[in-house]
Chains A and B, each alone.
Chain A
Amino acid sequence: RKEVEQDPGPFNVPEGATVAFNCTYSNSASQSFFWYRQDCRKEPKLLMSVYSSGNEDGRFTAQLNRASQYISLLIRDSKLSDSATYLCVVNRGNTPLVFGKGTRLSVIA
């Protein structure tokens, strides 16, 4: 079983839609959680960290459920520019980040 598993995608949504991505992780020792965004043929970039209390950054909301070992990302009012691959990332403290396979989002006009 992969350490980080994500929805397979792709997600094709119209502009203005709300879309949610889910991610599960297998290692209960995981301590830090992130969502990275990767545009086509570009490098991954940090979108946001995920905190136990949940956190919001504009149209983006990230949530963590440690009991279920589950992470989510909600994007409201999708824009064309949100089209990208969203990578769920975890780590066990002072260790290399472990990336999920990514979920591709296409926002359609």
Chain B
Amino acid sequence: DTGVSQNPRHKITKRGQNVTFRCDPISEHNRLYWYRQTLGQGPEFLTYFQNEAQLEKSRLLSDRFSAERPKGSFSTLEIQRTEQGDSAMYLCAGGVVRDSNTGELFFGEGSRLTVL
């Protein structure tokens, strides 16, 4: 158990609906990452936070996607007007930056999104 929890674990929605995922890392994780993974692919980076500041967003993150990490604790990832291509596993990972290097990431079990 990595201590990173995500919910909901599964979400089925109709195209055009909005969905929100939540990630709760452990308190030591000053970094929080969102990745997306589809079948047969490795995790693809979406965005990350250091404490409450969002430091980088991938070009994969269209304007329909928004992420927040208020107070530097839990984080939410919202997808507006979902499309079938958004169907994927959304993985959250916590980490601690040491010596200016990204070290080990601790992933949650993921939130699987199915858009019908």
Contact = CB atoms under 8 A, between A and B. Distances in A.
B40 A96 contact: no
A99 B33 contact: no
Interface in A77-109: 87, 91, 93-102
Interface residues of B, number: 23
Contacts of B107: 43-45
Contacts of B45: 96-98
Interface string B87-112: 00001000001001111110111100
Contacts of A31: 101
A20 interface: no
B102 A101 contact: no
Interface string A39-76: 00011111001000000000000000000000000000
**Interface majority SS (helix, strand, loop, mixed), chain B:** strand
B41 to A, nearest CB: 6
B102 A95 contact: yes
Nearest to A95: B102
A99 B48 contact: no
A49 B104 CA distance: 9
Nearest to B48: A96
A11 to B, nearest CB: 15
Given A42-B109, A43-B91, A102 B101 contact: no
Given A96-B48, A96-B56, A102-B42, A43 B101 contact: no
Given A94-B97, A96-B48, A96-B56, A46 B104 contact: yes
